[in-house]
Each structure stands twice: as structure tokens, then as C-alpha cells.
Amino acid sequence: MELKWNEEKVSLTDVRAWIEKATNSHHVKGPTKIFRSNDWGITAMFQGDQDYVCKIAFLPLFQTSPSIYTFLNSLESPHLPHVIKAENFNGQTWLLFTPFEGEVDSKTDSIDDIVQIARTLALIQNQATHKDYKDIPVYSVADVESECLDFISHVKERYQEDYKQNSQLISKNLSVEQTELELLALEETYTYLRKEIKKACSSLAQYPIPLSLYHLDLHIGNAAKLDNGEMLIFDWEEAVITIPFFSINKLLQNAKRTNMSKNETGKYLTWTENESLVIQTYLQTLNLPIKHEEATKLLDISMSVVPVFYACLSFQFIKQVGWEKSAAGMIAEDILLAFHRFKHLESKGII
């Protein structure tokens, strides 16, 4: 299906003029290629004195993106995209990038590539630690706890009845068994989650974990292997500053799939061989003022909290695109993942 420019949302004439002004180019042409076009944004290539990539977001959610990319530019990292101009304009967010030359492979999960992305992430987070996070959302451990507890209360109030009445229907659209969804119909599930979130965050707060970047959506499809063999991580629009371990959650899901042929299930926090390789590479690269054994324990605890925190932050997108009424299925997998990971931590006596 051919993607088209959404003239109703954003004037192509205005975008060309904006690019000309930002780059001192004359007679900007394009889009020469549209990468994405939907109700919440558009990404396209334009041609001026060189090629440029323009990303325009239509949702209020992305109003912090200019601050994020200004901060990322200040790191001067070869592992990050270079933004030429970033600003909020007429209620939208306009971003202009220098294109990068690299290969993005979102279909083939290569464990070597996933490990390299994890190492690259840690290098970026090392650079980002202890910086001035002006106008970027920052969540301390206490903030994470508060956000997660509020979100669990909201899910219970808003969707528990859906899970009671419609678990069979919801399960048809998910890779989750109906019996699993029925856990979210139980009062004790929410009580348990609240208790474990408090315990987990109490444990995390005992250690001097330096806050850093949380990408929110770091999977193998949001990284490119450059011509020099290095990795570049992109799509930072929703990034926040918080517990750094959170960023590898989706990478571990990528890594888990590479082990499936070996009959390893990667059940919750019993990491597969390849997940463990990603974790160890990441922790060995990340600068932390704690022992490696402590970091490993805290990462496990963080991987139990992050599905709820991710669902909480992602829920803002769900609301802004008007999907709130049907969100029970969208958030169920993350909440259930947190539930079972907490059960595993409990069985091991980790918290």
C-alpha cells in the first residue's frame, strides 16, 4: 500500500519552507520517500542540498521530544541520530534529522546484533548519567513506584470488569490464554501487584543506581548497523530519565526468540542462554557504583517492575489516539508479565 502525505494534518508547503530555513537549502523537494504515515505522525525523506529526514508527531505526548533530542545531540555520540532542528509547532512536534547510512533488520533476530545493541545502549547511558536533564521527564525510584501503583489502581477500576466478562473475547486477539486473563479479574491479583511493586521499589531504592535514559521501545527494529559495523539506536521520541535497566526489557524478548529452537522457554526470570548473554554484556559495559552480583539482582527486580511502568507510560498514547475503551487487551500482557516475574522473584526469595 502506497503511503501518502497527510495534508489535512500538516501542510507540505509549510514543511518544505521549514526545512529550507533550518538548513539554508533552496528549493527543497519532496517527500522523495514516505516511511510512515498514520493518524499520529508522519516520517518522510526530503531533498535539499542533501537528503533530510523529517518526522512530525501530531500528539501532545511527543512535546518533550525536542528536549530529548537536544540532550542527545549534546552527547555527540556516534551511536545516536543527529537532529538538525527540533521544535513544537502549532501543537505538533517537528523533528529534522541527517539520514544515517545503515541496515535495519527487524525480522531476523541475530543474537550477535542484539548483544551489540545492548552494549551500545550501555555506552549511551554512561554518557547520559549525571547530566542536566532540562525539560525531560525524570522518574526517581519513588516516582516509578507512585506511577505504577496509581496505574494498577486505574486498571482495576477501569478494566477489571472487562476481564471478568470478556476474557474469552480478549484472549482471541492476544497470545495469552483465557485462564491467564482471568487472573486480572481477581481482586487478589491487584493486591498482590501493589504489594510487590512496593517491595521491589524499596529494594531498588537501597542502592545508588544512577538514573539514565529509558528508551521505552528499544528492540532490534529500532537500531541500525552502520557501514563501519557500529550500532546506532534511533526513535528516542518518548524517552525519559529513570532506572537505566528498564531499557533492555524488549531486547531480552528479542534474545529469547533466538533460543526457541533449543527448546528453551525463557519463562519469566529464568533467562535463556542468549538472554543471559545480553544481560551480562550490558552490565559489564554499564558503569555502576555497585558490585556485579548486586547489579544482576537489581536488574532482575527491575525487569519485574518495568512491564507495569511501560504499560503506564504507553497508556498516554492509548488515550491520545482514542483507544482507551478497548485498552484491556493492549495492557494485559505487560501486567501479566509483571505478575509472573514477581512470583518468580518471590519463589527465589530475591525480594
User: Is residue 263 scored above 50 in pLDDT?
Assistant: no
Same structural domain, 22 and 45: yes
Same structural domain, 72 and 133: no
Same structural domain, 89 and 161: no
Q: CA-CA distance, 31 to 47, in Å (whole number)?
A: 8
Q: CA-CA distance, 179 to 163, in Å (whole number)?
A: 10
Same structural domain, 117 and 73: no
pLDDT in tens, 203-255: 999 999 999 999 999 999 999 999 999 999 999 999 999 999 999 999 999 99
Lowest mean per-residue pLDDT among 110-119, 142-151, 250-259, 311-320: 250-259
Farthest CA pair distance, the chain? 65
What is the identity of the amino acid at 61? L
Domain of 202: which CATH number? 3.90.1200
Domain enclosing residue 38, as ranges: 12-99
Q: CA-CA distance, 54 to 67, in Å (whole number)?
A: 17
Same structural domain, 137 and 238: yes
Same structural domain, 92 and 233: no
Q: Provide mean pLDDT across the span 283-299.
A: 97
* 328 domain residue, yes or no: yes
295 Cβ partners below 8 Å, 6+ apart? Answer: 283, 286, 288
| Domain termination site, one of 41, 71, 99 | 99
C-beta separation of 214 from 243 below 8 A:
yes
Same structural domain, 204 and 281: yes
For residue 263, what is the DSSP state? T
* 145 domain residue, yes or no: yes
* 144 domain residue, yes or no: yes
Same structural domain, 289 and 199: yes
39 Cβ partners below 8 Å, 6+ apart? Answer: 58, 321
Integer CA distances (angstroms), 233 to 49, 57, 80, 117, 217, in order: 25, 19, 6, 8, 11
User: Is residue 264 scored above 50 in pLDDT?
Assistant: no
For residue 210, what is the DSSP state? P
| Domain termination site, one of 99, 119, 146 | 99
What are phi and psi for residue 110, nearest 5 degrees? -95, 120
Same structural domain, 135 and 235: yes
Q: CA-CA distance, 272 to 259, in Å (whole number)?
A: 7
User: Is residue 179 scored above 80 in pLDDT?
Assistant: yes
* 329 domain residue, yes or no: yes
Beta strands in the chain, from DSSP E residues, in sequence order: 29-38, 41-47, 51-57, 83-89, 92-97, 102-103, 212-214, 223-226, 231-233, 240-242
pLDDT of residue 266: 47
Give the chain's domain count: 2
pLDDT of residue 311: 98
Rounded to two decimals, the pTM is 0.94
* 129 domain residue, yes or no: yes
* 227 domain residue, yes or no: yes
Q: CA-CA distance, 306 to 197, in Å (whole number)?
A: 10
Domain of 53: which CATH number? 3.30.200.20
Same structural domain, 79 and 164: no
| Domain termination site, one of 78, 99, 120 | 99
Q: Which residue has the cell 501479566?
A: 336
pLDDT in tens, 42-86: 999 999 999 999 999 999 999 999 999 999 999 999 999 999 999
Same structural domain, 149 and 219: yes
What is the identity of the amino acid at 48? G
* 106 domain residue, yes or no: no
* 254 domain residue, yes or no: yes
Same structural domain, 126 and 274: yes
